[in-house]
Amino acid sequence: MNVLLLGSGGRECALAWKLSQSPLMGKFFIAPGNAGTSAYGTNLDIKPTDFPAVAKAVADNEIDLVIAGNEDPLVLGIREFLATYPDPRVSSVLMLGPGREGAALEGSKDFAKGFMARHGIPTARYFTVTADNVEDGDKFLEGLKAPYVLKADGLAAGKGVLIVPTLEEAKADLRTMLAGQFGKASATVVIEEFLSGIECSVFVLTDGSGRYIILPEAKDYKRVGEGDTGLNTGGMGAVSPVPFCTPDFMEKIRTRIVEPTVQGLKKDNMDYRGFIFLGLIDCDGEPYVIEYNVRMGDPETEVVMPRIASDLLPVAVAAAKGNLDGCTLEADPRTAVTVMAVSGGYPGDYAKGLPITGNLTPEKSIVFHAGTKAAPEVVTAGGRVLAVTSYGSDIPSAVAQSYASLADIHFDGMYFRRDIGKDLLK
Ligand code: AMP
Ligand code: GLY
């Protein structure tokens, strides 16, 4: 089985680490990958959104399975592009990742809310606004309690959600968004009721025919500062399992959210084969969907992959073939924690190309590369640089191991949160 994985972050490094362990793996390529993924396969200097180059790589390397790590190529329709490509070596390739319509669950908040409404999936009340119905938007806002949630409909690099304290500001921000604050992405804005609770991430692998497997759940840490303060980031760390995700709560998630989502995709004829990331919030023991993503989470993948004890590749192939019948994934009972080492200044401006020194292959942790490059020595190449994952019998022992491994890793301006998992301890 020859595999091409698209992407270059910590998520793809963790997927590559896991997939490369499969005895079924033949030739393995990551496009474009990073300095870490080259330990598990061959990096190809191709952008995931350069579809003709991806198609050529599939043909040249006799690829059997393409896995999309990030959402961009999916939202842009890579599945359709490959499936209709004139070369049969490309059109017959298996693809893990939904088509354009399924990807709209992440690419359009309005589409996702409509899907949830149609299929009775618990989520915040909402109203969709464009330049044509701003006053109706004001009326909807007037019926809500503070704070107010405004979301750009389209992809806005994770920045398109505003939580606004007063009604006046919400009305003003609504207009600023519609006028192009997030470009085309905010020409449509979804207003939502604010939900209060603790968030977690649940991952589902589905085959388009109503069958699915729930992967280990995780909690990520989005704010840059300790105690969940400061700006939002791509994620500063993650923990799995999540103590408040009890068997009872997971069963509510399965019956109220996962089942209707997977059945809804089938009813709507989306032939969705791939990962679904459920961003959930626990409101007094009741799960609600905050968002869908059509890929795995980052940095959640850096704890979810280490917690999958089974071979992932045959299950990924089965999902891509549209038949997960009889497939299961065993969970590793240990706790996994990842701590993200980021560039100084992130999520604002930061330097790139800084040498990374120290022990990047510690015995007791797994160092997943996020933003790195081989130049040829390893240098920083992004805001999030390294995700250091460790196992433990509990959160404190796992996180302590990651901090011990991080003590031996250096680059100028390196920063990481020292409180990952702390909020989950009794
Ligand atoms: P999203 O991009 O939709 O995941 O939103 C980004 C973040 O905004 C989420 O992770 C939540 O922390 C917060 N958020 C989004 N929607 C709501 C909501 N309806 N109520 C409270 N917080 C929200
Ligand atoms: N960790 C959140 C995300 O991947 O979107």
How much is the pLDDT for 157?
A: 81
Identity (one letter) of the amino acid at 165? P
DSSP-derived pairing of the beta strands 212-214 and 223-225? unpaired
- Tokens standing for residue 398: 């796992």
How much is the pLDDT for 285?
A: 96
CA of 222, closest atom in ligand 2: 1
How much is the pLDDT for 158?
A: 78
The verdict on whether omega for the bond into residue 165 sits within 30 degrees of 0, i.e. cis, is no
Going from the Cα of 205 to the center of ligand 2, the distance in angstroms, rounded, reads 16
pLDDT for 71-121, tens place per residue? 999 999 999 999 999 999 999 999 999 999 999 999 999 999 999 999 999
Q: How far apart are the first and last CA of the chain?
A: 45
Ligand closest to the CA atom of residue 105: 1
Q: Which residues of the chain have pLDDT under 70?
A: none
CA of 222, closest atom in ligand 1: 10
Ligand 1 pocket member 5 (CB < 6 A): no
Testing ligand 2's pocket by substitution, the residue of 201, 236, 239, 275 carrying the most ligand atoms inside 8 A of its CB is 201
Ligand closest to the CA atom of residue 155: 1
The rounded distance, in Å, linking the Cα atoms of 274 and 130 is 31
- 215: which DSSP letter? P
Phi, psi at 385, each rounded to 5°: -105, -55
Testing ligand 1's pocket by substitution, the residue of 140, 236, 290, 291 carrying the most ligand atoms inside 8 A of its CB is 290
The rounded distance, in Å, linking the Cα atoms of 18 and 177 is 41
How many residues are listed for the chain in this entry? 426
Residue 339's alpha-carbon distances to 15, 24, 224, 348, 401, in angstroms, are 17, 31, 12, 19, 10
How much is the pLDDT for 60?
A: 98
How much is the pLDDT for 109?
A: 97
CB atoms near residue 48 (< 10 Å)? 25
Query: 317 forms bridges with which residues in the sheet?
Result: none
How much is the pLDDT for 426?
A: 74
How much is the pLDDT for 284?
A: 96
Residue 216, exposed/middle/buried by CB under 10 A (0-12, 13-18, 19+)?
Answer: buried
pLDDT for 321-343, tens place per residue? 999 999 999 999 999 999 999 99
- Tokens standing for residue 349: 């401006």
Testing ligand 1's pocket by substitution, the residue of 109, 163, 289, 295 carrying the most ligand atoms inside 8 A of its CB is 163
Residue 234's alpha-carbon distances to 108, 157, 307, 363, in angstroms, are 19, 9, 21, 27
Ligand 1 pocket member 232 (CB < 6 A): no
